[in-house]
Copies of this chain bind each other. A is one copy, B any other.
Amino acid sequence: MHTIGTLARRTGTKVQTIRYYEQIGLMPEPGRTEGGQRRYGDVDLDRLAFIRHSRQLGFPLEAIRELLDLSDHPARDCGAADSIARRQLREVETRIARLQALRSELERMIGECRGGTASECRVLEVLRDHSECLADDHDAID
């Protein structure tokens, strides 16, 4: 039997985060002591580790919910897990591409800055210059 603090320490999770996972139904309600403190078994430790590892790979909590559900039903088809992972991979790839574009624009902006006062600043000028930006909606942002 583990306390919530032990689970936290062993998985690198904050205590409040574990309670939060319980609240949203990702972690089960554990048994309690007479005094009302949570006591966990090894199964719970494994489940929390699964959640944290998935989070480290960037899976959103809703995806983790599905993955846990599959993990709880070993007879089901693996395809669903595979497609969740592929979706996540696509998501990561999209973000990388977007960030690489941002990186180029930032590099260009910084590379052109020759110092001086704010009025001469190339960085501010680029940001002000909405010629290619106004009215046509890019997405980007994050």
Contacts and interface: CB of A to CB of B under 8 A. Distances in A.
Interface of A: 9-12, 46, 49-50, 52-58, 67, 70-71, 73-79, 81-82, 84-86, 88-89, 92-93, 95-96, 99-100, 102-103, 105-107, 109-110, 113, 115-121, 123-124, 126-130, 133-138, 140-142
Contact of A106 (B55, B88, B128): B88
A53 B46 CA distance: 45
A121 B70 contact: yes
Number of this chain's copies in the complex: 2
A57 B99 CA distance: 9
B130 A78 contact: no
A137 B56 CA distance: 10
Contact of A57 (B88, B92, B106, B115): B106
16 contacts: A11-B135, A12-B136, A12-B137, A49-B134, A50-B130, A52-B130, A54-B127, A56-B138, A57-B102, A67-B123, A86-B110, A88-B106, A92-B99, A95-B95, A95-B99, A96-B96
Given A53-B128, A57-B106, A71-B118, 4 more contacts: A9-B135, A57-B140, A75-B117, A96-B100
Nearest to A56: B140
A127 B53 CA distance: 6
